[in-house]
Amino acid sequence: MRYLTGLILLFVSLGMYSQQYSHYENFDFDPFSRYLYKPGTNFHTSVRNYRMDEINKVIDSDSAIYDGIRVPDKKMNFWRRAVHDDLFRWQDEDIKVCINPLFDFGLGRETVEGKTTWINTRGVFVQGNIGKYVSFYTDFVENQATFPNYIDEFAEKYNIIPGQGKRKDFGDDGHDFAQATGWFSLDFAEYFNITLGYGKNFIGDGYRSLIMSDVAFSYPYLKFTTTFWKVKYMFLWNNMIRLERDNSLGDTRYPAKYSATHYLDWNMGNRFSIGLFANVVWARYDSITGYRGVEYSYLIPGVFVRPVEYANGSPDNVTMAVNLKYIAAKWLTFYGQFVLGEFKFDEVFSGNKWWANKQGFQLGIKTFDLFKVRHLDFQAEYNQVRPYTYSHYSPIYGYSHYNQPMAHIFGANFREGVFILRYRHNRWLFKGQLVKSMYGDDYGDGVSWGKDVLKGNVNRPYDYGVYIGQGLKTDLLYGDMSLSFIVNPRNMWNLTAGLRVRNLENEQRTQDTKYFYFAIQTSLKNLYWDF
C-alpha cells in the first residue's frame, strides 16, 4: 500500500491534471456517438469508457446531452434539479462533486407462462474531481427481482444475474444481487493517464465486441493510456474470477486469473482507423504449473504478447485481433473486427477444418440521421466465431469472468445478425431491435462442442471437420420494441414501456417468451438480455 501512496504523491508532484470518464455508457441513451463518428474528429471511438475532456474537444458535452430538450432558464430548485440536472452538486473553485440516484422500478408480464415479474433497484453514484490532480467515480446498487423464464434459467444454471454478479434466493422465485463499481483517475505529464478501477471496459465500434465487451460482471483493473497525435495506446491489467469452489469448505476464495491487454488505435487520415489488439490470460494457480501469481513479463507496456508467451513455454491463452472503422460520410460508418486465437498456415488453408483454427469476424454499419431525419439512427451487424475460440486446455484459462464470456455474449461457435433502429424526438425515444442467431450448444454430457468458453477444449468430439453450429444446433430469434420518455438526461432517468419476444428451438426443446414490461429507471450502463 505504501508503494501505491508513494506513486500517487509522485504523480501530484509532477503537476498532474485529471479529467472524468463518461458515465453515459448505455448504447440506447448514448448522447455522444452521433457527433464522434464524423470525418476528421480524430476521436478514438473504439476505446470505451470515453473521456469527457476528449469529448469536449469535439463538441460541448452539455449541448449533446440536452440536444433537443428544453431546460428552464430559471434558477434550479430541488425539483428542477431532479428532472433536469444533477440532484446534488457542490463546486468550489477547482473542486466539484455530483451525486445522483440510480434506480429501476419495473413490472412485467410474461404471457406464455402467465408470470408477473418485477425489479426493485436502489442506488447512488458519486463523481467529481479535486483540483487538477484527481477525478473519481463510485456507485452502488442493491437489487431484488423476478425475471422471465430464460433469464431465470440462466441465473439458476450459472448462479449469477447476467452482467450483474452473484445472486441468492429471494422469496419463492426471486433473486437478490448487488453491484459496486468505481475508478480513481490520474493524468500526469501531458499525454498520459493511469486509472485504477473496478468495473468494465469495451473495445470496438459495434453493438457487440469480439475482443472485449461489457457483458460480464465488473472486475478490478489497472489501465494505462497515452494519447498523442492520431494514436491512442492502452494497456489494461485486470483480475478475473472463475466462479467455482468446493462449497463444503465454506467461504473460500474463488479461483483467480489475470489478463493483460494491449490495444493500439491509429486514426489514419480523417476517415479510417485501425486498432491492434493482443490479450493474454494466465491463471493464478493451476494443477500443472502450481502457483504463479503475477506474470511480470506480460506487464510491460508495448511488448508483443505472443513472442513473450512463447518464450514462457506457451502455457497461456493468447487472443489477437484487429478493429477497423471507416467513416464514409458524416451519417455513415462501416466497422469490423477480426479475432484470432491460433493460426497455423497449413491447417487454415488445408480445408480440413482443424479444431484449433480459432477465428471470428464482425462486419457492421451504423447510420445517423438516416434519410436526413434528425435522430433517426440505424445499425446492422453480423458476427461469427468458430468453435473453441477463446477457450484453453484448462477451463480457468478461458477468456471469461464470473461465468460469462469477456467478448461476445454467446461465447463461440455461432453466427448472428443484429439490427437496431432508434428514433428520438425531444424527450421521446423509440427503439426496435432484432437479433437472429444460430449456435451449436453442448448436449450436457461433459463433451465440449466449442461454444462454452467456461469449459476446457481437451474433451472435444474430434480434431477435424469442426464447423460453426456443430453440436446441438440451436436457432434463436429475439425482438424488442420499446418507447421511452426521458425525464432527466443528466442521469438518463426515463419511463419505458415495451414488448420483448424470444423464441429458441433445437432438437431437444422449444422455449417461447412474450414479455410486456414497464419501468421507471436510470439507464447509464448496458445490460444485455438478448441471448
pLDDT of 254-265, one tens digit each?
Answer: 989 999 999 999
Confidence at 4, pLDDT banded by 50, 70, 90: very low
3-state secondary structure of 427: coil
Report the chain's C-alpha Rg in angstroms: 23
Poorest-confidence range of 63-77, 339-353, 405-419?
Answer: 63-77
pLDDT of 222-240, one tens digit each?
Answer: 999 999 999 999 999 999 9
| Grid coordinates of 447 | 463433451
Residue 136 is which amino acid? F
Residue 163 pLDDT greater than 60, yes or no: yes
Distance separating the N- and C-terminal Cα atoms of the chain: 41
Residue 77 pLDDT greater than 90, yes or no: no
Q: Phi and psi at residue 181, in whole multiples of 5°?
A: -135, 165
- What's the CATH number of domain 2-522, 3.40.50.300, 2.30.40.10, 2.40.160.10, 1.10.10.10? 2.40.160.10
pLDDT at 105: 98
3-state secondary structure of 490: coil
pLDDT of 274-285, one tens digit each?
Answer: 999 999 999 987
Residue 178 pLDDT greater than 50, yes or no: yes
Q: How far apart are CA 55 and CA 474, in angstroms?
A: 42
Task: Point out which residues pair with 200 in neighbouring strands.
Answer: none
Confidence at 169, pLDDT banded by 50, 70, 90: very high
Check if the beta carbon of residue 323 is closer than 8 Å to that of residue 205.
yes
Sign of CA dihedral 260, 54, 485, 125: positive
pLDDT of 297-312, one tens digit each?
Answer: 888 877 778 788 777 7
Query: Where in 330-460 does DSSP place strands (E)?
Result: 332-342, 358-367, 376-385, 400-401, 404-405, 414-425, 428-441
Nearest Cα to 210, choosing from 345, 474, 408, 47? Answer: 408
Confidence at 18, pLDDT banded by 50, 70, 90: very low
Sign of CA dihedral 58, 59, 61, 64: negative
pTM, entire model = 0.92
Burial class (CB in 10 A: 0-12, 13-18, 19+), 6: exposed
Nearest Cα to 409, choosing from 32, 130, 150, 228? Answer: 150
Average pLDDT on 210-219 reads: 97
pLDDT of 461-492, one tens digit each?
Answer: 999 999 999 999 999 999 999 999 999 999 99
Residue 8 pLDDT greater than 60, yes or no: no
Average pLDDT on 243-248 reads: 77
Between 199 and 246, the higher pLDDT residue: 199
pLDDT of 328-338, one tens digit each?
Answer: 999 999 999 99
Residue 14 pLDDT greater than 60, yes or no: no
| Grid coordinates of 142 | 442493491
pLDDT at 270: 95
- The secondary structure element, H or E, covering residue 309 is helix 305-311
Domain locations in the chain as residue ranges: 2-522
Share of the chain above pLDDT 70, in %: 94
3-state secondary structure of 64: helix
Residue 301 is which amino acid? P
Residue 158 pLDDT greater than 80, yes or no: yes
Average pLDDT of the chain, as a whole number: 91
Task: Point out which residues pair with 497 in neighbouring strands.
Answer: 483, 518
- The secondary structure element, H or E, covering residue 153 is helix 149-158
3-state secondary structure of 67: coil
Poorest-confidence range of 44-48, 77-81, 317-321, 428-432?
Answer: 77-81
Poorest-confidence range of 79-93, 94-108, 477-491?
Answer: 79-93
Poorest-confidence range of 66-75, 105-114, 426-435, 500-509?
Answer: 66-75
Residue 222 is which amino acid? L
pLDDT at 73: 65
Give every CB contact of residue 390 below 8 A, 6+ residues apart in sequence. Answer: 317, 319, 341, 358, 398, 399, 400, 405, 406, 407, 411, 412, 453
pLDDT at 251: 78
Between 199 and 299, the higher pLDDT residue: 199
Share of the chain above pLDDT 90, in %: 74
Q: Phi and psi at residue 122, in whole multiples of 5°?
A: -130, 135
Give every CB contact of residue 69 below 8 A, 6+ residues apart in sequence. Answer: 426, 427, 486, 489
